[in-house]
Amino acid sequence: MRRLGVPGGVPSVKVRIEPVNDRMCIVTRERGQPDGLLRFVAAPDGQVVPDLRLNLPGRGCWVTAEREKLELAVKRNLFGRALKARVSVAPDLADAVEGLLCAGLLGMMNMARKSGQFITGSGKVEEAVRSGAAIALMHATDAAEDGVRKLRQANTAQARGDRQAEIPVFRLFSAGELSAAMGEGAFIHAAALAGQAGEGVVKRAIGLARYRYGPEKGAD
């Protein structure tokens, strides 16, 4: 607590100063930044809900942004103690969070496509990779291996030519899932390009990959 004096004879008031980095996973007890954590709050009815946009009011608690860690938090009944309240936790909370992460990524793909920062089609994608315009590659999980291999070779060649690391590659949705979610915007191969929306795609893809597979197995 810090006591702030107010001029003009008004009594001083106490203002609670929260540490900037006071975000600790309730499972691992390790501190981290918001990009690597998920925030949860208790709704008015006591139900624990995710706050992925970090804008819900009330006391919050944090879990490392990995499905395994969230499932442990649910299994060990850690939310009530962390939130200092009597709460209820849906057994499918981990599925609900994954659904929100998927929806966020798919929505950002659509936004980036409309702004010209997310392109589809093997030929256009290969050109973007070889020119250095692409900042990430995406394939449907059931994409044919020959198409994946061709773009992998382009990625490797471009990286060697510029003496830099290869761009990240993600395989997060099947062709059927993409078609159902994006309609005409669905793809087998795609590339994110530089720009706010394209970078938003990459950020969300990294987050979903980490949530599903852990920090070491996100991108190829």
Kindly report the backbone phi and psi dihedral angles of residue 109, in degrees, each rounded to the nearest multiple of 5, phi listed first.
-60, -45
Is domain 96-213 in CATH 3.40.50.300, yes or no?
no
pTM comes to 0.86
CATH classification of 12-91, choosing from 1.10.3720.10, 3.20.20.30, 3.30.43.10, 3.30.1230.10?
3.30.1230.10
**Of 94, 101, 105, the residue nearest 48 (C-alpha):** 94
Give tens-digit pLDDT for 77-131.
999 999 999 999 999 999 999 999 999 999 999 999 999 999 999 999 999 999 9
Of the candidates 135, 121, 136, the one whose C-alpha atom is nearest the C-alpha of residue 186 is: 121
Which residue from 172, 167, 170, 171 is spatially nearest to 135, judged by alpha carbons?
167
DSSP letter at 35 equals: G
Calculate mean pLDDT across residues 3-15: 38
- Domain definitions of the chain by residue range: 12-91, 96-213
Residue at 26: amino acid letter:
I
Q: Collect all residues with Cβ–Cβ distance below 8 Å to 195 and sequence separation of at least 6.
A: 112, 115, 116, 117
Q: How far apart (Å, rounded) are the C-alpha atoms in residues 177 and 173?
A: 6
The answer, yes or no, to whether residue 18 has pLDDT greater than 60, is no
- Distance, in Å, from the CA atom of 81 to the CA atom of 95, rounded to the nearest integer, reads 22
Computed over every residue of the chain, the mean pLDDT equals: 89
